[in-house]
Structure 1
Amino acid sequence: MFKHPLLGKLLGIGLVAVLLSLLLARIGFLVDERSARQEEAVRSVQRASAGEQTLIGPLLQRQCTEEWTARDDNGKTRTERRTYAVVAPPSVLEVSSQLTTEARYRGLFKVNGYVTQLTLEVQWRDGVGALAAQAEHPGGRLSCQAPTLMLALGDVRGVRAAQVKTVADTANGSTEWVVRPGTGHEIYTQGWHAVAPATAGPLHLNITLELAGTARLALVPVAEDTRWRLQANWPHPSFGGRFLPVEREITPQGFSARWRVSALASSASTEVRKGQALCASPSPSRYAAPGEEGDAPAPTDNCLDTLTVTFIDPVNPYMLSDRAIKYGLLFIGLTFMAVALAEVLGRERIRRVHPIQYALVGLALTLFFLLLLSLSEHLSFAWAYAVASAACVLLLGLYTGHMLGTSRAGLGFGAGMAGLYGLVYLLLNSEQMALVIGSVGLFLALGAVMWLTRRVDWYSAFTPPGRKDPLSPPVE
């Protein structure tokens, strides 16, 4: 037995806190597991329908072959050959798009899909003349295939309809091109192409495209002047890529955004000519977080520039559950402090609380996070939080009333727990103000503890029964 009962009790409560922290860590692992299953659901939907979409182009291209006669060291001649592609990005690319989101589900998990109607106005000042090939070897003989128009995509399975027309003029009128599968490009293989007619002078095309995808839509600014207008019915966009919109408007009904990028600011046109590959995008469920822009990791210098929008869920139950668990030890610490204060301040009126009772209170607090995780998979996060917190407040209020021996103490404890749950909910939903709210709340809690214990004689509290405090003044 401890000579100092209060010290032994504190050690017992410390052991309980350590065990509860291990239990919180296990619940955190469960949150990670469920989050990983959500990511697998996203990949499953993408495998079964269409994944994230990135548009590269449209581009004019032509496959050419050069043959030349070479002489070896023995004086013999041989014919050598090389095959290469000539690519011409457009001078002006103007894209208008209307996007409608379509939720898809794998079991309990929701995946944000979409269908977008795109209209592309494309111009080449030199037309197919921009594809003029030149021989690199003396006496080289060139032979080139017919020029084609190609549009590369992130996932060609999302193409529902595509149409290419020349813009009508007084001389030639409007001509519709035949769209065929495949791009004919060595690097950008996903997409379609159309054979370009043999025309001279500037080329002005109108392209309409109906495209389905999942979670993310991006455009590579390949033209000398790229403009993109996007309207969608999703109110929670996350803008990323190398260039943010020059204008954006977000309402509860949706958003609209406008980008404009010049070739002076982007190397995409040059990199596309070289065949620079796209970099893999981050998983949207991993990086989804409330906010309008800058949520996804920035691309590296070896990636094509993109204009990107991701359709995120602002209330991701697994992200918010993970953030809530980070406040778990704060929950337990403040609750244990409240019980200890009740013991210290009401010795004559309050029953002594055993460490096992502290453990039961801590288990109830820990069970809240498991309830929150399970309910948030079936209800909105706000309702899940309300139900889980109300159940725990009721349980703790009733148990504490019996534990301390007074219903008034139980009501006060329940009210304090309700206030603590309300504070944590504000922290979870106020990402930008979380630090301010948390620091002010902790300061007020510390101030309340200091004020309530200002007259407590801590030496007498730690003095064993029947022994006089050596530092107390002598009795006259």
Structure 2
Amino acid sequence: MKYPLFTKLGALAVIVLLLLIGLGLIEDVVRDRQRYRSMTAQSVADSLAGPQTLMGPMIHSACVESWDVETGKGEERRTVEQRREFLLTAMPEQLKVVTGAAMEERARGLHKVNTYNLKSHVTAQWGALTSLQPQSTMKGSRMNCGAPILMVAVGDARGIRTARVTLGEQALVLKPGTFHPTYTRGLHAGLPESVRGQATGLTATLDLELVGTERLAIVPIGGNTEVQMSSSWPHPSFSGQFLPSEREVTKAGFTARWRLSSLATTAQKDIADGKRVCVNSGGGGDDSSEYATGNATPRECAESFSVAFVDPVNPYTLADRATKYGVLFIALTFVAVGLFELMKKLRVHPVQYLLVGSALCSFFLLLVSLSEHLPFGISYGVAATACVLLLAYYASHMLGSLARGIPLGAGIALLYGLLYVLLQLEQTALAVGSIALFLVLAAVMVLTRKVNWYGLTSPAGTPRPPLPPREPPRVPPPHSGLATPTQPGRP
């Protein structure tokens, strides 16, 4: 081989390509397991209840306005009745929701899904119910309105366990459905006709027990809406159009409070216009329903806010994040082996590089398989320890001594420790990773600062050119008229 360095680099490039293909296959395995977990979540949602949306209470009344119109002339003259159907709604002026969510874990095979049991106490107050009085649009028309209905809509009615509504001191009889043309899932109670146009207003209270999967959304339809939510789940994800005005998240759970005014939200108008309530989860809903989970645009959706009970130690999510660092692991390990080869004048065969890279790739497959049966931290520790011991043992023979294999194994252990820290961090992962890469680059530059890179790229068998000899100091000739320098020890 005329240029051994270039030949070695070409072989390493092929090895890296093969290892990248292996990492890609491992990533496909992780995605398949993630897809199986999503199917499990959908199966639980189909059997129990999907993500829930709570909206209400509100009052509505369906009305029909009819009038007569004469058509034709002469003997063909006749009277035709025309009609207009519309819905009157009354949103509460004050809406207060106090709710607590108790988490319940459901499992299908190896996969676990977070479900919750929600217990809510809702208080709704209306002022004068003038919005329930129909206004005719045609002179001489006839107006016919159904009885006012108090309704509460939910995302998945199968999740309703118990419900009780009182109007003042009177308990109302609840029935399934809402009789609303858009938000059909929920419960309702009939109100007396006397409440229509009532000037003194109404106060209704709702005690509701509701179960759901992974996410809860609330629509702030009150003139002033106040929601207080608490749960023992320590990893909430707040989303939607409004974040909590106050929140406290600890290892023991979280408490959040929202305070919203109708001046800041269009939820009342959105619901009056019949817009869908959109949620960001795929379980328990479909694109054609009033609770959209597809690609609906914000203009098509009513404003809402939500809480997702996410699992930050989802092994498949963490394993997927870990495999993205696989290329970095291989590159840093190859750099470390190359430094040993360069600084200690060793020769490491490309096949040995391939075996080292294969051991690094096997770590990610071990991590995925073990985390399906053990906690993620234990799985990570077992997989990392096995790979570090294997690589340290192999490096001791590959590099010629135990004193060289142990430092390489310690460096790989440090990489695994850094990766675990990055997986646990969320907001500072980029900063920590970039600082670590900078330190590694600085160490490589310091260690190779005196390497003659031109000498490494010389053809095999070509001797290095000798250094030019130093010129002896010039001594002036004798009797030149110049004083000769005095020798040490002589005057």
Q: Which residue of 1 aligns with 2:90?
A: 88
| Secondary structure, aligned partner of 1:137 | coil
Superposed counterparts of 1:163-312, under 5 Å: 163-167=164-168, 174-197=169-192, 198-199=194-195, 200=198, 201-283=200-282, 300-312=298-310
Superposed counterparts of 1:48-127, under 5 Å: 48-74=47-73, 75-127=77-129
2:54–2:217 CA contact under 8 A, matched in 1 = yes
The answer on 1:339 being equivalent to 2:337 is yes
| Secondary structure, aligned partner of 2:385 | helix
Which consecutive aligned stretches of 4+ in structure 1 deviate over 4 angstroms post-superposition? none
1: distance between equivalents of 2:36 and 2:297? 26
1: distance between equivalents of 2:191 and 2:447? 84
1: distance between equivalents of 2:377 and 2:39? 25
1: distance between equivalents of 2:338 and 2:248? 52
| Amino acid aligned to 1:308 | S
**Which shifted more, 378-387 or 44-53?**
378-387
2: distance between equivalents of 1:79 and 1:450? 90
2: distance between equivalents of 1:242 and 1:73? 54
Q: Which residue of 1 aligns with 2:152?
A: 151
| Amino acid aligned to 2:30 | V
2:49–2:211 CA contact under 8 A, matched in 1 = yes
2: distance between equivalents of 1:316 and 1:427? 15
Q: Which residue of 2 aligns with 1:453?
A: 448
The verdict on how the C-alpha distance between 1:29 and 1:215 changes in structure 2, with shifts beyond 3 A counting, is same
2: distance between equivalents of 1:475 and 1:431? 61
**Which shifted more, 77-86 or 217-226?**
77-86
| Amino acid aligned to 1:275 | G
- Deviation, 1:464, is 3.4
2:225–2:259 CA contact under 8 A, matched in 1 = yes
2: distance between equivalents of 1:39 and 1:10? 43
Q: Which residue of 2 aligns with 1:325?
A: 323
Q: Which residue of 2 aligns with 1:366?
A: 361
- Deviation, 1:475, is 7.2
1:242–1:299 CA contact under 8 A, matched in 2 = no
2: distance between equivalents of 1:378 and 1:397? 27
Match 1:386 to one of 360, 381, 385: 381
- Deviation, 1:280, is 4.3
1:152–1:188 CA contact under 8 A, matched in 2 = yes
1: distance between equivalents of 2:434 and 2:296? 31
1: distance between equivalents of 2:461 and 2:101? 79
Q: Which residue of 1 aligns with 2:485?
A: none
| Amino acid aligned to 1:155 | D
- Deviation, 1:450, is 1.6
Q: Which residue of 2 aligns with 1:39?
A: 38
| Amino acid aligned to 1:410 | G
2:215–2:281 CA contact under 8 A, matched in 1 = no
| Secondary structure, aligned partner of 2:368 | helix
Q: Which residue of 2 aligns with 1:290?
A: none
- Deviation, 1:299, is 7.1
2:217–2:279 CA contact under 8 A, matched in 1 = no
The answer on 1:161 being equivalent to 2:162 is yes
Which whole-Å deviations, capped at 9, do the CAs of 1:52-103 have from their partners, x for residues lacking one? Answer: 1111211101111211101124332111223222111111111111210111
1: distance between equivalents of 2:83 and 2:104? 50
1:459–1:469 CA contact under 8 A, matched in 2 = no
Match 1:315 to one of 303, 313, 316: 313
Q: Which residue of 2 aligns with 1:294?
A: none
Q: Which residue of 2 aligns with 1:132?
A: 133
Which ranges in structure 1 are unaligned for 5 or more consecutive residues? 168-173, 285-296
- Deviation, 1:234, is 0.6
- Deviation, 1:473, is 3.3
| Secondary structure, aligned partner of 2:216 | strand
The verdict on how the C-alpha distance between 1:466 and 1:274 changes in structure 2, with shifts beyond 3 A counting, is closer
Q: Which residue of 2 aligns with 1:429?
A: 424
| Amino acid aligned to 1:443 | F
Q: Which residue of 2 aligns with 1:289?
A: none
Which whole-Å deviations, capped at 9, do the CAs of 1:441-472 have from their partners, x for residues lacking one? Answer: 112112211222222222333333431246x6
2:107–2:113 CA contact under 8 A, matched in 1 = yes
1:237–1:312 CA contact under 8 A, matched in 2 = yes
Higher CA-based Rg:
2
| Secondary structure, aligned partner of 1:126 | coil
1:151–1:192 CA contact under 8 A, matched in 2 = yes
TM-score (normalizing by structure 2): 0.89
Q: Which residue of 2 aligns with 1:293?
A: none
1:112–1:311 CA contact under 8 A, matched in 2 = yes
| Secondary structure, aligned partner of 1:178 | coil
Q: Which residue of 2 aligns with 1:466?
A: 461
**Which shifted more, 265-274 or 442-451?**
442-451
| Secondary structure, aligned partner of 1:301 | helix
| Secondary structure, aligned partner of 2:277 | coil
The verdict on how the C-alpha distance between 1:80 and 1:465 changes in structure 2, with shifts beyond 3 A counting, is closer
Q: Which residue of 2 aligns with 1:412?
A: 407
1:161–1:209 CA contact under 8 A, matched in 2 = yes
Identity %: 46
1:240–1:298 CA contact under 8 A, matched in 2 = no
2: distance between equivalents of 1:433 and 1:90? 43
2: distance between equivalents of 1:9 and 1:227? 68
1: distance between equivalents of 2:435 and 2:244? 36
Q: What's the RMSD between the two structures over aligned residues?
A: 1.8
2: distance between equivalents of 1:410 and 1:275? 69
Which whole-Å deviations, capped at 9, do the CAs of 1:404-441 have from their partners, x for residues lacking one? Answer: 11011111111111111111111221222222222221
**Which shifted more, 212-221 or 447-456?**
447-456
1: distance between equivalents of 2:438 and 2:145? 76
2: distance between equivalents of 1:299 and 1:105? 33
Q: Which residue of 2 aligns with 1:11?
A: 10
2: distance between equivalents of 1:117 and 1:97? 6
- Deviation, 1:283, is 4.3
Which whole-Å deviations, capped at 9, do the CAs of 1:132-169 have from their partners, x for residues lacking one? Answer: 111222211011111110111100000011111123xx
The answer on 1:377 being equivalent to 2:379 is no
